[in-house]
Structure 1
Amino acid sequence: MTGPGPGPVVVLVGPPGAGKSTVGALLAERLGTAYRDTDADIVEAAGKPIAEIFFDEGEPHFRELEQAAVRAALADHRGVLSLGGGAILAPVTRGLLAGLPVAFLDMDVAEAVRRVGLDAPRPLLTVNPRKQWRALMDERRPLYTEVARAVVSTDGRTPPEVAQAVLDALELEQR
């Protein structure tokens, strides 16, 4: 199954640990389509993990790679697409998402700490993760909301429940 027009049938955005990869794979299965993750595209192209890109070349270089990966995926992919947590920081990316079936997977800080953990290899959450996560979400929540056609809370829900909530919110038919 593919979307009615150009671009992915669903685009997932949200903070680190929201379950974009897990929910994205479930959505692709339910919709009978392919799943793609722009973070995985970046890792494959760079030949190293995102944390190493941040460390070796810095966040600005990573964001350039991310913008290119998102642009390519939005142009080429017709299935379910997950974007990295910070992809929406780029105005160009937010513009590319306009009019697309975007779902923002939202969660509160307690859920984030439970899921992401305090020692996970997430470059932006290395020191005082609770405080940094709150600051990150204060900055990003308005941007996630701006690009989203649907906001789906993941708090207290299993990945299959979140996937169903996305399907319902975007009024997509399962296969």
Structure 2
Amino acid sequence: MAQPLYGLIGAKLGHSYSKIIHEKIADYTYTLLPLPTETEARAFFAKREFAAVNVTIPYKQLALPCCDEVDPRAKAIGAVNTVVNRGGRLYGYNTDYAGFAYLAKAHGVDFAGKTVLVLGTGGTHATVSAVCRDGGAKEILTASRTGRDGALTYEQAAARSDVQIVVNTTPCGMYPQTGQCLLDVAALPWLETVLDVVYNPFATELVLRAKDRGLTAAGGFEMLVAQAVYAAEHFTGKPLDSETLIPQISRELQKELQNVVLIGMPGCGKSTVGAVLAKKLGKTFVDADAEIERRTGKAIPDIFAQEGEAAFRRYEADVIADLTRQNRQVIACGGGVVKTPENRHALRQNGPVLWVQRPLDKLATAGRPLSKGGAALREMAQERLPLYRAAATATLCNDGALADTVAAALHLLK
């Protein structure tokens, strides 16, 4: 007899973490089921050959009329993200509501009396708006690319100086199109909080810009875990200890999936420390400079000599953009990686950035195009130290035994 089918449907699922989350929660096998067209999605529901599924972009609204019975909250929102087949009848729920409410609560976000701007008009927009409305928001604004049906355009939204909370419900900034952003948060003087339902990467460009301003900001990974736990209760028909499971699974999976990025002056030991640290963490070690050499077929000193530093920085930015979109890596970066502004956000999007510090007189300089020692090295340090400080999550002293440095890194990562 075939095993009952549990899984996720959506147009594109290459970015999804749902399988690993659900299989941590319960004992069923969870399958990713990409359905590129609405016709395929409707046919999937019509056949009813599944036990239970989650529904993601762009089928949350389509799923609702495919169900025989819909939970009142899902019906009021107009979107379904969880469908359970009980004896051939389809029951629809919206666990995104509770998931988003969990995310807001976990980060101390109170909607009462606030002006909220919701980016996007899809199924998740309706869910987020419902949570904000139930939380007592004073006004809920909507922004979209077209500005149709009463929505503001993103340009108009940026001119609303009274906005206090921004929530992104669009796929903008989601893997693999990371680094994109719909709104200039610097244009909103009263902005306090940014929440983004995108969970891959952990921190979108929108979230990183908000953090740069010192605002409360969070991506959607905790929401993803929370809605999965609530969905699993419907899947299994059994109550779960959600208050314990959600933070526990969120921490475990972020630790497992995240990158650890090492930055610092040339010759400070990033590659040596990174290779050992990767083994300890069970992650893949990647040396960004070695990857540049592999892609270009040239040694880095030759790139500097033949094409100049500007060309090297372009190669480096391309490599950093590609590497940091992925996960489960320890990435050792070249000393000048922080000189390119877009790299600083890319490095932080999927995990912590450790600034490896070593006294200047102990830095290795052989074979390094810009490390000449003496006054030149001190001048380089003066230029780069503020950039390292701005990019780093934490500092790691590498002034002793390798084992001690790695142990200190593991402690920081806890």
- TM-score (structure 1 length as normaliser): 0.86
Amino acid at match of 2:388: Y
Match among 141, 146, 158 for residue 401 of structure 2: 158
Higher RCO structure (Cα 8 Å, ≥6 apart): 1
Of 53-62 and 161-170, deviating more is 161-170
Q: Secondary structure at the match of 1:69?
A: helix
Q: Secondary structure at the match of 2:267?
A: coil
Following TM superposition, the consecutive aligned residue runs of length 4 or more in structure 1 with deviations greater than 4 angstroms are: 5-8
Deviation at 1:4, TM superposition (A): 1.2
Deviation at 1:51, TM superposition (A): 0.2
- 1:122 corresponds to which residue? 368
| Larger CA Rg, structure 1 vs 2 | 2
Deviation at 1:48, TM superposition (A): 1.3
Match among 81, 84, 87 for residue 334 of structure 2: 84
Alignment check: 8 A CA contact 1:6 1:78 kept: yes
Paired residues, what number? 162
How do residues 1-175 of structure 1 correspond to structure 2 at under 5 angstroms?
A: 4=254, 8-98=258-348, 100-112=351-363, 116-117=364-365, 120-126=366-372, 129-155=373-399, 157-171=400-414
Instruction: Flag structure 2 segments of 5+ consecutive residues without an equivalent.
Output: 1-251
Deviation at 1:77, TM superposition (A): 4.0
Q: Write 1 or 2 for the structure with the bigger share of helix.
A: 1
Alignment check: 8 A CA contact 1:43 1:50 kept: yes
CA RMSD of aligned residues (A): 1.9
Deviation at 1:109, TM superposition (A): 1.4
Deviations 1:88-129 (A, max 9, x none): 1111011223453010001121222xxx15xx1111124xx1
Alignment check: 8 A CA contact 2:320 2:347 kept: no
Percent identity between matched residues is 36
Instruction: Flag structure 1 segments of 5+ consecutive residues without an equivalent.
Output: none
How far apart in 2 are the matches of 1:7 and 1:130?
40
- TM-score (structure 2 length as normaliser): 0.37
How far apart in 1 are the matches of 2:317 and 2:390?
18
How far apart in 2 are the matches of 1:170 and 1:6?
11
